[in-house]
Each structure stands twice: as C-alpha cells, then as structure tokens.
Structure 1
C-alpha cells in the first residue's frame, strides 16, 4: 500500500541506548503502519520494545537514545507528511503535533496525572497550549469531553483531584485528556493492564465507540491477546525488538505462522481446556522438589478441612472533615461476614474486582490485619489453632504452616538482600539449623523453582519479573508450609511468564501436597488453577461452587457479568457489551429482587453439589437457576 494512504508509517526503525561499554540495541528494522480510522495492535512481552517504539513516535525518547529509520505521519486534515525523526527534539513543529494531532494514553494513570491539580485543570491545559480558546470555552469543551468518556457529572469531576477517582475513572480522565483536541492518532500503551476485567471491558467499549465517533486511528500496545481480538484491525507481533509476524487480525488468529506467535497463543489460559491439560509456556521451568522437606507423610486421621473461616468482619472508618476538623467518620465494611472452608490439598480460588475485599481477607488470615469479628481455625491434624488468637510459640508454629506469595515481586523482595539472604531469612528467624544446613536448604529451594544456584549472590533487580516471582514462591516454601495464600501472583506478569508460574505452582502442589488459597480477578487463570471458586463482591461471597459449575452454570448476576467481561483471544467469541450493560456490576437494580437487600435479608442458598449463592432468605433454588 502506498505511504500516502497510511496515517502513520514506520520504516526500518532502529533504536539503541548508550550504556557502559557500548550501545544496547533494543529495536531493529521495525516496519509497521496505522491506517486512518483503523486499529493496529502491537503485541509482545515486556522488554520487546513496544513502549520504546511508541515513545519514538511521540518524540519523547530520552537523550541517551539513538534512532534511525523513518516515522512518517500524514495528517488527514492537510495531507502533509512529516518525518518525526527529522524534527527538532523540543521544537515548535513536534510540540504542535504532540497532544494535538497525536496523543498517548499511558499504562498507569495515577503516575501520569498530577496529584496537585484538578482533573479539569489538567485536561483544559492541553486546550490552552494548542488552541486560542478562552477560559470559559476551555471549561465547556473539557466538561463536554468528560461527559463523552462516561462521567455522569462532568462539572463535578472537573473540580476533583485524581486521588478522588477510582482506577477506571482515572483512566477515563486520561482518555479525555488525550482526546480533547480530537487527534488523528491515539497511542494506547497497555490502557487496561492495571484494571479489573469489568472496568477493562468498559474502557475497551469506550475506546471503540470514541474511535468510530471521532474517526480516529489507534496504535494499541498490549500483551493481552484477548484485548487484541476484540479491538484490532491489523496486528504486529514483536519479540526482542524485531517483528516476527504482521497481518490482519483474521490472518493472525486463524492462521498464525511464526512459532513465537503460536507459543504466545498456547500460553493463554482459556475456558475450553481439558482436565489435566497444561499451559504451554514458551520457556518451561524444570521442577525438582526431591530435596525439599515439605514432602512428608500426612498426619494420620487428619481432618478434611484444613482452614475454616467463619463470619469474618472488618470495618474501616473514612475521615470526612480533614486532619484538624471534627472526627466525623463514614464506616465502610471491607469484609462483611464471610465464611468458607479450604479442604486439604485443594486450591480454592477467590475472585472479584478491586475493592471487593479479597486482599483484606488474605491479610486477616496472615494476621496482618485484625478483624472486628469472626473466627479462623487451622487444623492439620496436630491440634486446632485459633489463627486470630494465637500468640508466642503457637503463633511461630502457625507461621511455619501458613505462608503467602505476594502480588508484586519487586516490592515484596528487599533490594538490599541477595537471593541467598532472602531465602535463608525465614530459616534464621525460626532458628532452624546452622549456616551449612541453611545453605543446603536454600540450594534445594533454588532447584525446586528451576533457578540456577549460581544466582544465589545476585540481587532481585538483576532478575526478570517471572524469576523474581519464583524467588518469592521459594521464600514462601522455605519453612515447609501446608497452606499457601497466593494474592494475585501472576497479575503483573506477561502471558508467557504467567504460564510458567502457574505450571510451577501446579507442579509444587502435586509434588508437595500443598493447599492453596488463590486470589485473582482473572477468571481464566482461576479456572486453570482452582478446584472450587468463591466470588466476592462488596465484602461478601456472592457465589461459591466447584470450578466446573460456577464457570459453566453461574447463577448470581455478578458472576455472570464477570464472565461476560473476559476478552477471549478468539475472533468467534467477541465481547458482548450489551450483556455487560444489562448486568452492570455497579447497578444492583439490574440484578433482580432475589439478589438484592441488606445483610439481614440475604443468606447463602444451597443449590446442591456444593453450589451456594447469596440470595434472599428462603429463595426457591429453581427460581434462582431460571433467573
């Protein structure tokens, strides 16, 4: 196709950075295009060069970067082509393009928005830079755009600060800022990665609708193949700075050619997997737990229930009138009377959106948060332990039996400790063995998670995200626990690395007889890992059932909306935005009278086969199923 018809055309792009000892080449010979009014998706893992390419298009690469090739932007208004790489770095030409004709949405809206300025102030600043409009005109246009991106009260939002908005609302504000000058090209860099699945679906629908309304082209940067299938017209697959495959979305999904693309698709967990089927990670992790002490005989006559949770309640107070004013607090129930059991050797999946109370539950179980009421009993056959009241030696003993794998492997590992220090620290705290014994155990842990023992003296910053998460898992296994609480352990990882970690956790569970509480907002991941699934909403468990029941025959409207919001990497199963709107998770009125009411009017209804759903007391099971 001739370059005149391409809105954006990148030809033979090369990007390198000056480093100690020479230059590091991160992008090599990249060619891609974005057609007017169309979406081109740039797909690849972290470190593949996606974001660097987008920065080069916007002209915001750091000074250490050296760029070769061409980036041609053809403005549809006047038909004039501009090679962005030939423009002065901060000259008037690139500044006129950036923000006006080309705009970018960043991955993390909280760090991209100024905490010191109101939302309206930041959006209208773009108009002040690029237009001659008056202050009143800027406010009018800003409020109009805030309404367009889905804010119910734009005039109120205009005067709010970013911290007053939820993650999804902040991303909408970022979109409003990017689109306020009606650009011809929008670069969306992982616009939904940090969002819940239902909020992600709303943002995707919003971007799609605005793209059609404004006749805007989009360069969508993502590693989520489900998002690509629902949004893209053309797809470009990149690996280590080089294009592996490019084509229309139909050709890429129905007839993938390159081995890397096939590997990416095989690494994505999906709902059609057969029992026992494994994810195909691009790089498998060899697991050898033979030398780990956790592999021991179970206690004779041990009870079936390892952990029993009953009526947990946790309330937080939100101060209304500032630091020095009257202490007027609004009480919010983060956890509202939840109960569940975890059976020995099983994986219980706990799913729900941000703010539903999942992490608060995990912190209560680990004694990091004190609940207002309820009980947690741990029983491995050697005597019951009241988790919430354990002290002294009993608490230390409990710590060896329950451990946690955290969401963010970067912040959960000390940057000042070597891997050897990190893995031996639990052994030192509990006074287990001498230094030679601890070193032996640390080497065994490294072997169990598939990391080379030569890495023991390295620091966390020298490892990839997946390797850091494996170190976090090894630390959790150091004391030979029976129960692992995994709080979003793969949400920050690429799909191929995610497959590695999930397979590793499955292998360790099988070989060491571990029991998991697996917390996630990704139902496809939970489907792969869990035996039973509990769904949380607003501090309560609204549905709990064996995995195959809850994913194939959900009853609660919230569970249905969660399932409907998952973008499948399948062109034959597009997102159903109409169903999502009908079952809007924030609109309880759309749920039906059987599922709404206060704590006094709702109770778990038993539908048989271990399937419980939160509904009105004495609700008829057949009625609930047919809703």
Structure 2
C-alpha cells in the first residue's frame, strides 16, 4: 500500500489588508495540514480569519491582500507533484484549472452565490464547460446525476428552475452539486449550515458525509458550530485572530481540550444538560446596567389575583393567514394557488415569561410574528394585548390603540445589518422611536439613549458611530436597545442569534435574560435552535405546517416530547459531544411531507378532525379528536 501524503499543507501563511494608512493582519504564521479523504474542521469566532484562509486557497481574495508563506497542493490526479498555489499567477490559467475543478467551494450564502438570471442547471453545467470536453448531452446527464445525488427527487425539473424558486436548504443542495460536479479532490465548505434550520442542517450534514465518503475527497469545514464539528470532522484546528491555538484529532480536542480559548468556546455553547439558573460563559462578557433604565418595570409584571386571566399579556385565538400565488403561465393567467401559512393558531403569552416558538423554515413562525406586530393582516381569528393601559384588539386597532400597540410591542430582527439604517448614527437609531412617538423633549431623549447604550454594554463614544463600524454582536445589541427605547411590555425576538458565532451568541442571550429580569419584560422568542430555546424559554410552542402541534413547559417539551415532529426536531440537533452522535437514520427528507403515526395524522380532507389534547401540567399536543389523552402521554 502506497503512503498517502498531505493533500494540502499551509506553511507560515500570512494575509494582511490595508487599513487607515497601515495594515491589519487577518492571518499570522498560519500552518495547517489536510489529509486525503479526511474532514478537517477550522473552528473559531467571526473575524478569526477562517474564511480568509478558504478564499486564499481559491485565489479569490481581494487584490489588495498581501499574502506570504506557502500553500502546497498535492493533487492525486496530477503528475508534477505538490504545487505552491500562492506562487501561481493571480487568476492565471493554472489556478483556474484547479479552482472549481480540483478544489471546490461551498459558500455560506447560496442566494448571493448564484446568479438570479440563469437557471440552476446552466450554472452547474458552466463548470463542466470550463474544465471538461464533454458533449452537451453528456454535461446535461452529469448535472442531472449530481442533482439526484444531492437529494432532489425530480432533478430534471430543478435543472430548469431559478435560484429564487428554491428554499434555503434546496439552494444549499444545489450549491453542493455545483461544487462537486467536477469531482474535486478537496471541498472547502464555508459555514455550509449556519443559516439553515435544525432538520435541514442535519440533512445537509448527512449529505456531505455521504458524498465525502462516496468520492473519497478531503473536506475543509469552516464553522463555529461545535456540534457540526463533533459529527463531521476527523481533525480540528482552532484559530483565534489569525493564529492556530490548538490542533489535533477530533477525539483529543473534545475529550481533552488544552487551550483556554477552546475551553471558552465550549463553555459558551448552550446545551440540554444545563442546570436551572446556570449561565452561559461567553469569552468576553458584557455588563447590564439596568439601574439607569428609565423604562424599568415594577408592578406592571405582577398579575392581579382577583382576575384569573390577568396574568395573560397576549391572547391569540384561531388565527389563520393564507397567501395566494399564481401558477406559471402567460401574463400570470394560471389558476390561483392558495397556501395556508398560519392555520388556526391559538396560544397565550403570560406576563414576565419567555415563550419559545420553534419550527422549520416555512412553518409560519415569522408570518405569525408579523401578524402580532400588525405587519400583516390575518384572514381570521383574534389577538388581544392586555397591556398596562388596558386591552387592545391587535388585529383591528386604530388611532390611539394602534399607537399604544406600537409602543408596547417591539421586535428584535434576525439580521442586524439590514434592520439598521447605514446612514444613521447609533444615537439617531436608538432615539428615532422616541422622536416618532414624541416621548419627552430633546434633553430627556438624550438621557434615555445614553441609559440604553450603557445598559447594553456599549461605551458612550459608540453613539456617534455608524452600524458598519460595529461587529455583528454589537449591531444586535444596538437593535435590542432600539426595541427597548419606548419601554415595551412584549418583545418579539425573531431569530436574534442565528447569524452569530457561539461566543457572541452567548453574550446576546445573557443580555436578553438580564434585561428580562431587570425590566420585567415578556418575550416571544422565535428560533430554530432548540438548545437556545431550551436556555431562554419558560414554555415552548412547536409549529409545523402553520399549526401549533405541541405546547408546554420547556422541561416537558425538551425531555418528554409526544408529537413525532417535536421528536424529529430534537433528534436532528447536533450535540458538541462525541458520545451523542447525530442519528442520521431519523433525518427525513425536506422535500416531502412526512406521514405521522395514526393519532397524529393530518387528514387534509377533514382538518376539523384534529384538536389539542390536554396531557396535564399545561402540556397540549395536536392529535385526532378521538385519541385518548392517557395513551398519548409519554
């Protein structure tokens, strides 16, 4: 048996960029080895230089980058031995013959990576046109074969579709097909599952694992998710500020971590075995100064014992919302197609609690949150907000009632980049709600803005800066401060940490917990990360296909789920624990709707056949009306 050499070896790599008359070093004295047929994970926080390394290998880094060191690529299909990729002419013929052919790359955001003007099939086929001499028929057959390998049940149909016609998970599958179409020796996967919900993530991980084994290719997995690393990697390299802190086999890294930075990353990850009251430990904690908050709640969070329903802040009853689209056809004259996004949803949010709302992308979570915020109108149902100033009919509020609703219900958005105006300073961003609602004079508004800035752990000097000069975590803190400016009673958090790395995520989650305690806030916390919901929520509602299929206390839902969908969600969570590997056998296909066991079957012809069975202790599950609640209990 012949010895297998390193497929890729980086030695003393350094990458720097010009910055205000000087240079900033993104990578310093960086060395890394990738073995053939193995998965090497590159782990670290945002800004640690992980993606810079991947782009440097592909020769797609900015022309202003100053690069030193060497990156040796020993292609098993080559005849000339190891090639120093950095010595090749920039964007020359040789590097172009390697990029996309012998080294493929999956980018973090597939929607940005695909051209919106060309079909999926044409864009995947382009790599074959560039790197092979196959005939058009052979290229088409190869693309159809690859689309089938990545999980599309109708690859011929997908070939002619455009990127915007696919969901996030399906676009990521198409991106994987494009990266693998030339059967590369090395695949670079840059955060391939960061923006995906838990079940789609599990499917993509299974797909990558199967394809990596099938093609015997090496993989460089760039990620900050230690759960993904534990389930996919053979070797792990931990990087901080462009330097390698620790490297070794995955078993040694997880069972016997040595460097304080790696131990800190592991302590920042929320998990299901946390004790009540236990806090996450971010690498850099931020203090919360709630004492200066002018909108601090006191008696508002206390229910009135004389009124049994006075503890309910928001009451949602039988809310439905559908969207109508047209089938493709000339001038949009096809038959209208109706999609029920929210289907007969009912629940209550109690004062001072955090209700977690979980489910896959497309289940109706965000649509429901927009209805609660009056961003969308509902087709049917009622929503009542029982604020300190009296009950408000959310769906029909006008004039003064609508102003009260706008003040008392605020939202923290998923993407802090697009939700903050790039043309406004932090002072103006946080102060804008105060000005719109005419709260106090200029001097009072200034005091409130300064108090909010201090409360979220930012210096006073941050007030004159613009959003682009802050990190992702700092931008999210600014969004939280803006949401708190009017002293809301209910805060709707729509995936507030999904785009953040583990340490920044821990900062934001601890901040939200502290603010809830200091200000008596009530949260509707929307997320697909069940470990995050387990840390933040008091109760959990599970949403599937527009309906609440299970709701109950967080301990019950996370440890004794009843509905098959809830069990499927929990089974798809990748644990950062080698002793609890992901059970790929339970991961179903996202491209077809599953069929549940008899008590939970949803008969499309008779939707009234389903009802919520009371299992006791505030635990309800959606089942057939004739199901015996005693038999449903775990």
* TM-score calculated relative to the size of structure 2: 0.96
Evaluate the alpha carbon distance shift between residue 591 and residue 189 of structure 1 in structure 2; reply closer, same or farther with a 3 A threshold: farther
- 1:301/1:381 contact within 8 Å kept: no
Answer yes or no: is 1:174 the counterpart of 2:175.
yes
- 1:104/1:187 contact within 8 Å kept: yes
1:561 maps to: 568
Q: Which runs of 5+ in 2 are unaligned?
A: 305-309
For 1:74-223, list aligned pairs within 5 A.
74-78=74-78, 80-223=81-224
* TM-superposition CA deviations, 1:479-520 (whole Å, max 9, x none): 111111111111111110000000000001111111110000
1:345 maps to: 352
* TM-superposition CA deviations, 1:543-594 (whole Å, max 9, x none): 001000000000111101100111000000000011224x979432254453
Evaluate the alpha carbon distance shift between residue 17 and residue 297 of structure 1 in structure 2; reply closer, same or farther with a 3 A threshold: closer
For 2:359 and 2:397, the matched residues in 1 are separated by: 29
2:62 maps to: 62
Evaluate the alpha carbon distance shift between residue 549 and residue 325 of structure 1 in structure 2; reply closer, same or farther with a 3 A threshold: closer
Answer yes or no: is 1:40 the counterpart of 2:31.
no
For 2:413 and 2:3, the matched residues in 1 are separated by: 48
1:235 maps to: 236
2:629 maps to: 621
For 2:451 and 2:433, the matched residues in 1 are separated by: 15
For 2:539 and 2:250, the matched residues in 1 are separated by: 35
Answer yes or no: is 1:473 the counterpart of 2:466.
no
For 1:262 and 1:283, the matched residues in 2 are separated by: 13
- 2:600/2:622 contact within 8 Å kept: no
For 2:530 and 2:162, the matched residues in 1 are separated by: 32
2:541 maps to: 534
Evaluate the alpha carbon distance shift between residue 296 and residue 191 of structure 1 in structure 2; reply closer, same or farther with a 3 A threshold: closer
2:521 maps to: 514
Answer yes or no: is 1:449 the counterpart of 2:456.
yes
Question: Deviation of residue 297 (structure 1)?
Answer: 2.7
SS in 1 for 2:26: strand
Question: Deviation of residue 600 (structure 1)?
Answer: 1.3
SS in 1 for 2:231: helix
Question: Deviation of residue 429 (structure 1)?
Answer: 1.3
Evaluate the alpha carbon distance shift between residue 379 and residue 565 of structure 1 in structure 2; reply closer, same or farther with a 3 A threshold: same
- 1:419/1:458 contact within 8 Å kept: yes
* TM-superposition CA deviations, 1:53-111 (whole Å, max 9, x none): 01111111121011111100001124621000111112221111111111111111111
For 1:382 and 1:78, the matched residues in 2 are separated by: 75
* TM-superposition CA deviations, 1:306-348 (whole Å, max 9, x none): 1100011111001214572426310111111100000010000
Question: Deviation of residue 440 (structure 1)?
Answer: 0.9
Answer yes or no: is 1:608 the counterpart of 2:602.
no
Q: Select the residue among 398, 405, 412 that pairs with 1:405.
A: 412
For 2:348 and 2:596, the matched residues in 1 are separated by: 30
- 2:45/2:224 contact within 8 Å kept: yes
SS in 2 for 1:501: helix
For 1:585 and 1:294, the matched residues in 2 are separated by: 47
For 1:325 and 1:273, the matched residues in 2 are separated by: 53
- 2:200/2:590 contact within 8 Å kept: no
For 1:565-584, list aligned pairs within 5 A.
565-581=572-588
Q: Which runs of 5+ in 1 are unaligned?
A: none
- 1:561/1:585 contact within 8 Å kept: no
- 1:345/1:515 contact within 8 Å kept: yes
- 1:313/1:338 contact within 8 Å kept: yes
- 2:152/2:591 contact within 8 Å kept: no
1:279 maps to: 280
For 1:104 and 1:193, the matched residues in 2 are separated by: 15
For 1:216 and 1:361, the matched residues in 2 are separated by: 43
SS in 2 for 1:410: helix
For 1:519 and 1:301, the matched residues in 2 are separated by: 25
SS in 2 for 1:472: helix
SS in 2 for 1:46: coil
For 1:37 and 1:511, the matched residues in 2 are separated by: 52
1:388 maps to: 395
For 1:416-435, list aligned pairs within 5 A.
416-435=423-442
- 1:409/1:472 contact within 8 Å kept: yes
Question: Deviation of residue 294 (structure 1)?
Answer: 2.5
For 1:593 and 1:76, the matched residues in 2 are separated by: 55
Question: Deviation of residue 622 (structure 1)?
Answer: 3.2
For 2:220 and 2:51, the matched residues in 1 are separated by: 11
Answer yes or no: is 1:330 the counterpart of 2:337.
yes
User: Which segment is superposed worse, 90-99 or 487-496?
Assistant: 90-99
For 1:284 and 1:516, the matched residues in 2 are separated by: 22
Q: Select the residue among 587, 590, 593 that pairs with 1:587.
A: 593
- 2:595/2:601 contact within 8 Å kept: no
1:14 maps to: 14
SS in 2 for 1:484: strand
Question: Deviation of residue 290 (structure 1)?
Answer: 0.9
1:255 maps to: 256
User: Which segment is superposed worse, 318-327 or 111-120?
Assistant: 318-327
Question: Deviation of residue 397 (structure 1)?
Answer: 1.7
For 1:19 and 1:328, the matched residues in 2 are separated by: 56
Answer yes or no: is 1:5 the counterpart of 2:5.
yes
Question: Deviation of residue 163 (structure 1)?
Answer: 1.6
Cα root mean square deviation, aligned: 1.7
* TM-superposition CA deviations, 1:150-205 (whole Å, max 9, x none): 11122222222222211111111111111111111111111111111101111110
SS in 1 for 2:118: coil
SS in 2 for 1:144: helix
For 2:571 and 2:62, the matched residues in 1 are separated by: 41
2:307 maps to: none
Evaluate the alpha carbon distance shift between residue 394 and residue 512 of structure 1 in structure 2; reply closer, same or farther with a 3 A threshold: same
For 2:296 and 2:177, the matched residues in 1 are separated by: 55
For 1:372-383, list aligned pairs within 5 A.
372-383=379-390
